[in-house]
Amino acid sequence: MFTVRKINSLDLPELQPYRTMRRQLEQRASGIFVAEGEKVVMRLLESQLPVVSLLLPEECVGRLEPLLNIRPEHIELFVADKRVLEGLTGFSMYQGVLGVGKVPEQHELANILDRSTKPWLIAVADGISNAENLGALARNCAAFNVQLLIVGKTCCSPFLRRAVRSSMGAIFYLPVIESNNVPDTLCDLKRRGIRCIAAHPHSEKRTLFQADFRSDCCVVFGSEGQGLSPDVLQVCEEHIAIPMAQKIDSLNVGSAAAVFLYEVNRQRNAMR
């Protein structure tokens, strides 16, 4: 069910999330996030996450109507000409559609593992402060059958607008746990028999193609600049590097994750 309201300003109280898009910490404290782009908003509407409202040009309503009609909640659609919307929001609207959704409740590790098939595959993000990079990591996790993404407190939120956009909505379908202490979380995984593997470009012991990913494992990814913290590296049982040309010492975390997670899937599919 939905209703359509034409607007010529963002003064309505219901439009506050769109007025404060650049103050994303405030939005996160309120338990909401902004989805940007028609394809991302469509994936939000297809997901099970609660949707609060949409802000969009009137001509886009018809394309979204089939998805809007099957949503269980009431969604308010605020419509105006795209140029008016860009003037109201203060920036060029990416594909012309914005939506506000509610951040899902924190998942419980035991519940996720119980409903996931073995061998388990978990990814951990440590120190990734760039929202686009974290979003790319989430997209790769969804593409390569990762069952859980654990995000450390030194990372940005995976529900920042730019992270959501970079994930292309994959974050809506990927279970996420935000950890206050990544080394402790890794120790918990190890107690459950899950091997913790550091994606470490400066490892001199083993390369990606020497690693065995066929059993339950967790792959830990760090930032391109700082890499993984010493405490995290100490907890990980294996440090694995992607072999590459000598003059290149690292990859963007999104690219590195794609390479690692592809290799995990390649090894596991070879078993079937």
Q: How far apart are CA 46 and CA 76, in angstroms?
A: 16
Q: Which amino acid is at 15?
A: L
Under-50 pLDDT residues of the chain: none
- pLDDT for res 270: 67
Q: What is the pTM of this model?
A: 0.91
What six digits make up the tokens of 153? 């407190």
Residue 190 · residue 196 · CB < 8 Å: yes
Q: What are the chain's domains?
A: 2-102 (3.30.1330.30), 109-269 (3.40.1280.10)
What is the crossing angle of helices 253-269 and 131-143, to 10°? 10
- CA distances from residue 67 to 64, 102, 230 in whole angstroms, order as listed: 6, 17, 47
What six digits make up the tokens of 201? 């470009």
Q: How far apart are CA 5 and CA 173, in angstroms?
A: 29
pLDDT digits (tens, 9 = 90+) for 192-250: 999 999 998 876 668 898 999 999 999 999 987 778 999 999 999 999 999 888 887 77
